[in-house]
Amino acid sequence: MADRLKLGLFGLHWMQNTDPDTIIRQAQLAEAVGFESLWVGDHIALPVDGADQPRLEAVVALTYLAAATQRTRLGAGVIVLPQRQPVLLAKQPTSIDIISKGRLTVGVGVGHEAKELAAMGVPYAERGRRTDEYIAAMRTLWQESSASFTGQFVSFEGVVEHPRPVQQPHPPLIIGGQGPASYRRAVQVGNGWYGWGLSVEQTAQALAELREAAVRYQRPPELGELEISLTPPEVVTAETARRYAEIGVHRLVLQPPVMDGAALDDLIKQVADTLIGHI
């Protein structure tokens, strides 16, 4: 069981929460009541049937949240890595980690929207290979003083990115997604794993598969324990939160059932009244 279940808030980049004054107000309220972290997702060019939901770009949103808060951690849950240029992306989280004084967690995943990936010039069938390669390239840039890398999709030689992130060797890297490839990435290179929309029972199954992957791929001991973050399919009670903690979840990243009206404000109040200090 996790020593203490952390509670994060998802959504300060989405729907009505794209209003800059609303972002600041809700971020500071969430920080004041005791949320451990604030999380944003990542979509750039969605198919038309999903494009009516406004979303801020993830890196910009995280930068704004860094300036609006003092203590809460900031998380990308998760960046669609294959549609990003990894040399630039390595620099962006470093910069956010510095201006937030070491509060950033970087989540990455392969993505699932074929039209979005195609609009960014990425064939859907390549997204897994690109994700593996881009992670390796970013870790090289984060950790080496004279970085060189040769891959199928990105190569560089004798370059350096300064300054270094506050968190060494880099901000915590978590891997999003379900299935064998995501579990392999999580145990081989991730500091954590992020699951989306999973019940307690579904989470237990995913964690069992992660443990099997850790044995199969011999998780490097220097990475330590895999931190488990999860967004449940619905707002949870204190009892349900305890059940997640008992099976090994370290952090619940909560979102309201809808993303309009006062739903996010209501969620912040509900969590402050029923979960923070009660689990």
Query: Is residue 162 very low, low, confident or very high in pLDDT (cuts 50, 70, 90)?
Result: very high
Position 48 scores a pLDDT of 84
Scanning the structure block, which residue is given the tokens 């009244």? Answer: 273
- Name, in order, each residue with C-beta under 8 angstroms of 269's C-beta and a sequence gap of 6 or more: none
For range 233-258, the mean pLDDT:
95
**Which range is most confident: 41-50, 243-252, 257-266?**
243-252
Does position 160 have pLDDT exceeding 90, yes or no?
Answer: yes
**Alpha carbon distances (Å) from 212 to 80, 150, 192, 206, 219:** 25, 31, 15, 10, 10
Grade residue 1 by pLDDT with cuts at 50, 70 and 90.
very low
pLDDT at 2 over 50: no
pLDDT, residue 47, reads 86
- At residue 51, the pLDDT reads 57
Distance CA 12, CA 255 (A): 10
Q: Please tell me the predicted confidence (pLDDT) of residue 52.
A: 72
Mean pLDDT to the nearest integer, 222-247: 96
Residues 107 and 74 sit within 8 Å (Cβ to Cβ)? no
Token representation of residue 112: 């699932």
Q: pLDDT (tens digit, 9 = 90+) per residue, 36-89?
A: 999 999 999 988 875 578 899 999 999 999 999 999 999 999 999 999 999 999
Q: What is the rounded distance in angstroms from the CA atom of residue 262 to the CA atom of residue 45?
A: 26
Are β-strands 155-159 and 147-150 bridged in parallel, bridged antiparallel, or unpaired? antiparallel
The mean pLDDT value for 122-137 works out to 98
Are 27 and 12 in contact, with CB atoms under 8 Å apart? Answer: yes
Structural domains in the chain, CATH included, are: 6-274 (3.20.20.30)
Sequence-separated contacts (24+) of 133-137 with Cβ below 8 Å? 133/86, 134/81, 134/82, 134/84, 134/86, 134/89, 134/108, 135/81, 135/108, 135/173, 135/185, 135/189, 136/189, 137/86, 137/87, 137/90
Q: What is the mean pLDDT of residues 94-108?
A: 98
What is the average per-residue pLDDT within 80-105?
98
